[in-house]
Amino acid sequence: MMINFGYACLAPGVAGTQMRSCTMRTATAERLRDVIAHNLQALMRLVQYNKGNNIHLFRISSDLIPFGSSPINTLQWQEEFADTFEKIGNAIADAALRVSMHPGQYTVLNSPDADVVNRAIADLEYHEQVLHLLKTDSTSKIILHVGGAYGDKAAASERFCRNWGRLSDRVRSRIVLENDERFYSIAEVLNIAQRLGIPAVFDSLHHSINPPEENCSPADWIWQCAKTWNQSDGRQKIHYSQQSADRKPGAHSKTIYAEEFLQFYETVRDMDLDIMLEVKDKNLSAIKCGLIVSDSSCISRLEGEWAKYKYSVLERSPKAYQRIRELLKDKNEFPARQFYSILEQAIDEPIEKNNAVNALLHVWGYFKEVAQPDEKKRFFSALDRYKSGTAKVDSVKNQLLKLAQKYNERYILQSYYFL
């Protein structure tokens, strides 16, 4: 049995992977061409990053092609960028990367408004076009919610089923249905999925907010969803996330906390699953979850992660910084669970000025021998303003980031210190 972990759309801390967009007013052919070229280049970098980090599950941003399903975009982007799509598709295949897409909240197939439904169908066709141009097969899915209840859930469900028949075969072969936190529980999604022959995706956080009347465990629901997945659909896919402690129900946590995750993992560890992590720190949590359930004994993998986190820990908790350094001294152990437990506690602590100054000076050490006199003056001037309370720590960090970029200090650029 094997479980893969993935993340959605963006990779914090990975240079050159941010998606660009434009407004309706600025969506000229020239602007759209420029944005699409940039976004496809960013997608290629994301694919390469995932390969390098042994991540085999990734959700592509719906914003890849601005106004992709709208008449506003008059470019024949499918033909114009066909070669680029093919290159990215080859890289996806080479990375053994399973990709998916998830249309936004306005793609509603069961709306009583015919215009909304027509736009939803066009949007689903756009998503399928992207996956088709990347030469992915039907295991690369489009995740969809059933939609709204509109005061009559039974009628709304029937509308979904009728409009399902309007979709092309290529779109239908890719769609999977996900439970949501407001209207359609996993039991209701399963009823529709079984009726239409659609794979069902279990979302853990949505389930905790909107559980069905049937008293089954999450693992039981996942087993029931498994029956809706055929060989042509690929491995069963689920969504896992945790509730943010200080935001409204349904808001994702900033990271996947290891201990809570491990409790869930123990209930599914004997299944073949692809688990999409929906979380603010995205790729960071995907790597974390992979490491804490790994049977690896190669401590260099943890040391590599520590190199990225160390200054973020130092500016919050020098005590945790020392604890992790001690933890990683034994090269015959692989203490991933303990490592992330200490790390999470440290990252949750507020930044205190003395600790922040200590971290800033540690990072400055990478540049003190190469920085020009004016650069040194700007750094210490910004540092003094921060110490006196007339500037924020980010203003000093920005000075260090510019130095790291100028002198190509990869150790610092690859860290999470500037996130």
**Residue range 342-393, pLDDT digits in tens:** 999 999 999 999 999 999 999 999 999 999 999 999 999 999 999 999 999 9
41 pLDDT higher than 80: yes
In tens, the pLDDT along 286-310 reads 999 999 999 887 899 999 999 999 9
Nearest alpha-carbon partner for 210 in 241, 248, 179, 240: 179
Confidence of residue 2 (pLDDT cuts 50, 70, 90): confident
Domain boundaries, the chain: 3-292, 300-347, 353-413
The percentage of the chain sitting over the pLDDT mark of 90, rounded to a whole number, equals: 92
Sheet holding 200-201, edge to edge: 142-145, 175-178, 200-201
Confidence of residue 27 (pLDDT cuts 50, 70, 90): confident
Side chain identity at 46, as an amino acid letter? L
pLDDT at 255: 96
In tens, the pLDDT along 46-66 reads 999 999 999 999 999 999 999
Q: How far is 43 from 89, CA to CA, in rounded Å? A: 10
pLDDT at 204: 97
Handedness of CA 373, 376, 380, 381 (dihedral sign): positive
Q: Is 115 exposed, middle or buried (0-12, 13-18, 19+ CB in 10 A)?
A: exposed
Contacts (Cβ under 8 Å, ≥6 apart) of 408? none
98 pLDDT higher than 90: yes
pLDDT at 313: 97
**130-139, 194-203, 273-282, 296-305: lowest mean pLDDT where?**
296-305
Number of H helices, E strands in the chain: 18, 8
Give the residue-averaged pLDDT of 221-245. Answer: 96
The average confidence (pLDDT) of the chain is 95
Q: Residue 157 in contact with residue 146, Cβ under 8 Å?
A: yes
Side chain identity at 258, as an amino acid letter? A
pLDDT at 385: 96
**88-102, 184-198, 225-239, 297-311: lowest mean pLDDT where?**
297-311
Under CATH, what is the fold of the domain 3-292?
A: TIM Barrel (3.20.20)
Q: How far is 122 from 214, CA to CA, in rounded Å? A: 36
1 pLDDT higher than 80: no
In this structure, what DSSP letter does residue 407 have?
T
CA atoms within 13 A on the CB side of 182: 10
Confidence of residue 174 (pLDDT cuts 50, 70, 90): very high
90 pLDDT higher than 90: yes
pLDDT at 246: 87
pLDDT at 295: 85
233 pLDDT higher than 80: yes
Q: Which tokens hold the place of 98?
A: 């399973």
pLDDT at 244: 93
pLDDT at 156: 97
Confidence of residue 198 (pLDDT cuts 50, 70, 90): very high
pLDDT at 72: 87
Sheet holding 57-59, edge to edge: 98-100, 57-59, 3-8, 273-277, 237-240
Backbone angles phi, psi at 204, to 5 degrees: -65, -45
Q: What 3-state DSSP class applies to 4?
A: strand
Q: Residue 189 in contact with residue 222, Cβ under 8 Å?
A: no
pLDDT at 195: 97
In tens, the pLDDT along 10-25 reads 999 998 999 999 999 9
Q: Residue 364 in contact with residue 390, Cβ under 8 Å?
A: no
